[in-house]
Structure 1
Amino acid sequence: MPAPERIPSRSLTAAEQLTLLTLLTKGELTVLGRIREASNAVLYCTVAYGDESVECVYKPVAGERPLWDFPDGTLAQREVAAYEVSLATGWDLVPPTVLRDGPHGEGMVQLWIEPVEPAEQEAGLLALVEGEEPGEGWKAIGFAEVDEGRTALLVHADDERLRRLAVLDAVINNGDRKGGHLLPAPGGRLYGIDHGVTFNAADKLRTLLWGWAGEPLTAEAVGALKGLAEALRPGEPLAVRLGGLITSVELDAVRSRVAALLAAGVHPSPSGEWPAIPWPPV
């Protein structure tokens, strides 16, 4: 069997997306180990189909811990729904993701992204700085305690890739955008992962990417949102696919969030009714 392939440094073409989705859906899953740091069962695997093989992550539904504010056994579907919405924006922010059967039952299978080493990144995404101003090229998140009695300002990069991800998170109502869910990949690409806590009909947006709160959406973001609004109309392929992954109430809430973003024309701000920053933040 050939060695597992790595994801290209450029954005995937539609044909490449389809090839990877076929491989992830139909290939034979082989579990190599478990990622211990995750709160739910996350298995590191290879998936092989014909002469092709790639590394992937498999999250079986049976390994999901119950949450008080989400129906049991639905996190895998939400991960796939996040990929579908990301794909519809054209931003390629979520690795190819499918719902399928596996060695431990039905679950989410997602292309493994090998992150680049910090020294190889062109710039950092998160930092702690002294003082009350983020500095040029950074956006403030909030103050964090770094030592007993001492705080520093937590900041994220003023980066167009993060800004796109902030828009996507607002659409899918991401309740857990941590720093560890940001994966810089070769070629300057950036992926977001771990989208199980998404698509709740109630406002659950909790993220590190608040730096653009209240600022106008970019023209690119407005265009992507307009495209999403069309793709989410009843009967459209995206709406049909999402309808098989989340509830009708949650799908209507996605439409409402897209419409609200377009009407406001700005990035959302914390509501004050829900913790705005996940814990731990990284």
Structure 2
Amino acid sequence: MSAPERIPPRSVTPVDPAATNLLAEGGLTVRGRISEASNAALYCTVTHEGREAACVYKPVAGERPLWDFPDGTLAGREVAAYLVSAATGWDLVPPTVLRDGPYGEGMCQLWVEAVPDSALLAVVEREEPEPGWKAIGFVEAEEGRTALLVHADDPRLRRLAVLDAVINNADRKGGHLLPAAGGRLYGIDHGVTFHTEDKLRTLLWGWAGEPLTEEAREVLTRLGKALAEDGPLAAALAPLITAAEIDATRARVAALLASGTHPVPGGQWPAIPWPPV
């Protein structure tokens, strides 16, 4: 008798409703280490009930302590960022869960295969950006020349700028932007977020001081309700970040709605992360 034919597992995409269950319940197999990561980040496969996907597993045991983020864990903040992203309906962060793994509790995030996209960031030797681009700031180019760093005037980036303002992202670099198949854009690496003090550092300052879109105001209104003390998002965040950080997130949402504009650099903290890309 011949052996039964093996049915290959079905892959899962970031927009698949089964993705978070797969990440939370599936068996993790470590395939290798992501060497460029500053903390332990392991490339894995996760398999469950005939489904399989690549993912990133970041165990808490592999985190380096941060003097300016003494509370909580990088993994907890990564999951919290995903939950806020999911609550916006924009789904800008790949599915992410907190679970046990081969090296203890950690963050597990669906791997997104990036599609090359040169239309998000650019360095140009101009004083002002061309139409369709937003200025970030001047940088030193080759041979001591000064060039202008710009990002696209792209609605996907603009949504991400709003999300970063809500979660107080202290490290939005160009390398943390993942353009994906189907025209989607994801942001990753949200371990330094949710601080109670203003620490927003980002490449996406192009809309600073400009009015929020109507879509953004509607999303922020929903977030405010979900973040109320008895709201579902506040309850979901409680095991992941501190009560003070939830209060600060609630206050940032309220401040954005009150001003009606994208935030501007505060001046007490470097506005652009280094290196920017």
Query: Please, what TM-score do these two structures have when normalized by structure 2?
Result: 0.95
- In 1, the alpha carbon distance for the partners of 2:43 and 2:99 equals 15
User: Is 1:227 paired with 2:222?
Assistant: yes
User: Is 1:7 paired with 2:13?
Assistant: yes
User: Is 1:275 paired with 2:267?
Assistant: no
Q: Aligned residue for 2:102?
A: 103
- In 2, the alpha carbon distance for the partners of 1:163 and 1:105 equals 36
- In 2, the alpha carbon distance for the partners of 1:248 and 1:88 equals 19
Task: Give the C-alpha shift of residue 73 in structure 1.
Answer: 5.7
| 1:235-274 matched pairs, under 5 angstroms | 235-274=230-269
- In 1, the alpha carbon distance for the partners of 2:132 and 2:11 equals 34
Task: State the SS of the aligned residue for 1:230.
Answer: helix
Checking the alignment, whether the CA contact within 8 Å between 1:80 and 1:97 is kept in structure 2 is yes
- In 2, the alpha carbon distance for the partners of 1:241 and 1:215 equals 31
| 1:99-248 matched pairs, under 5 angstroms | 99-116=98-115, 118=116, 121=117, 124-248=119-243
Q: Aligned residue for 1:79?
A: 78
- Aligned pairs, how many? 271
**Aligned Cα RMSD in Å?**
1.2
- In 1, the alpha carbon distance for the partners of 2:36 and 2:26 equals 26
- In 1, the alpha carbon distance for the partners of 2:260 and 2:60 equals 37
Checking the alignment, whether the CA contact within 8 Å between 2:125 and 2:147 is kept in structure 1 is yes
Task: Give the C-alpha shift of residue 229 in structure 1.
Answer: 0.3
Gaps of 5+ in 1: none
- In 2, the alpha carbon distance for the partners of 1:4 and 1:65 equals 36
Runs of 4 or more, structure 1, over 2 Å off, are 1-4
Q: Aligned residue for 1:69?
A: 68
Gaps of 5+ in 2: 1-6
Q: Cα deviations across residues 209-264 of structure 1 (Å, max 9, x unaligned)?
A: 00000000000000000000000011222110111110000000000000000000
Aligned-pair identity in percent equals 72
* Greater Rg over alpha carbons, structure: 2
- In 2, the alpha carbon distance for the partners of 1:137 and 1:5 equals 36
Task: Give the C-alpha shift of residue 25 in structure 1.
Answer: 0.4
Q: Cα deviations across residues 67-115 of structure 1 (Å, max 9, x unaligned)?
A: 1111266100000000000000000100000000000110000000001
